[in-house]
């Protein structure tokens, strides 16, 4: 009985996840910073963690953890998801789509250099200004705003910042539906 229990424990000893890198991408690892470069851009991310080790071999990225635990399994799976997002972002950019909704007052949205300006939001005299982060391309096309970036986190954060720029508290949302809202997250339609 004791020998059987030990053999089961030894099978669950090490956790390893392997992610295959497609052709056309270059992967480099500098201590714990993983850099993936493709035709749409280069993405860097720091994976410094004492519990999980990261290695690169030819066209594989390997994540290794010591003894099995649920926390290490969750860490490895989340790191693998981040790496897959990095790979897909360097091959095809992540694209978020926002819609400008104005029912009461016409909203004027413009981009100058590194700033997004929203004028006449609910009749306000002072324009609302958002300084855009580096690493993404933001375009205004009629009543749509398009945010594209190689990094999914950057595209999502800029989209959320734009949505929060036009947020109003203490207003009845059934009547005052004016604002800028995310309608498409990287191919997933928001209803």
Domains with residue ranges and CATH for the chain: 2-91 (3.90.930.12), 94-189 (3.90.930.12)
Reduce the DSSP state of residue 115 to 3 states and report it.
strand
The mean per-residue pLDDT over the stretch 77-81 comes to 95
Alpha-carbon distance 52 to 118, whole Å? 44
User: Confidence class of residue 173 from pLDDT cuts 50, 70 and 90?
Assistant: confident
Question: Per residue, what are the HEC states of 118-177?
Answer: EECHHHCCCCEEEECCCCCEEEEECCEEEEEECCHHHHHHHHHHHHHHCCCCCCCCCCCC
Q: Is the pLDDT of residue 68 over 60?
A: yes
- Look at residues 23, 16, 20, 121 and name the one whose alpha carbon lies nearest to residue 75: 16
Share of the chain above pLDDT 90, in %: 73
Reduce the DSSP state of residue 32 to 3 states and report it.
coil
User: Confidence class of residue 79 from pLDDT cuts 50, 70 and 90?
Assistant: very high
Select the more confidently predicted residue: 144 or 4.
Answer: 144
Q: Is the pLDDT of residue 5 over 70?
A: no
With a CB cutoff of 8 Å and minimum separation 6, the contacts of 116 are 109, 110, 129, 130, 132, 138, 162, 165
Residue 173, token pair as written in the block: 């949302």
Q: Is the pLDDT of residue 13 over 80?
A: no
């Amino acid at each position: 009985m004791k020998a059987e229990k030990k053999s089961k424990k030894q099978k669950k000893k090490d956790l390893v996840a392997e992610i295959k890198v497609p052709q056309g991408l270059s992967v480099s690892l500098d201590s714990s910073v993983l850099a993936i470069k493709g035709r749409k851009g280069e993405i860097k991310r720091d994976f410094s963690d004492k519990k999980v080790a990261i290695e690169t071999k030819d066209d594989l990225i390997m994540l290794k953890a010591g003894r099995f635990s649920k926390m290490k399994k969750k860490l490895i799976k989340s790191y693998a998801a981040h790496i897959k997002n990095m790979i897909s972002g360097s091959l095809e950019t992540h694209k978020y789509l926002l819609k400008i909704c104005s029912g009461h007052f016409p909203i004027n949205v413009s981009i100058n250099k590194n700033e997004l300006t929203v004028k006449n939001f609910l009749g306000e005299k002072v324009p609302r200004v958002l300084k855009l982060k580096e690493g993404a391309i933001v375009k205004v096309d009629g009543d749509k705003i398009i945010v594209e970036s190689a990094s999914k986190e950057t595209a999502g954060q800029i989209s959320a910042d734009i949505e929060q720029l036009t947020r109003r508290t203490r207003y009845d949302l059934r009547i005052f539906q004016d604002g800028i809202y995310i309608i498409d997250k990287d191919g997933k339609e928001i209803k």
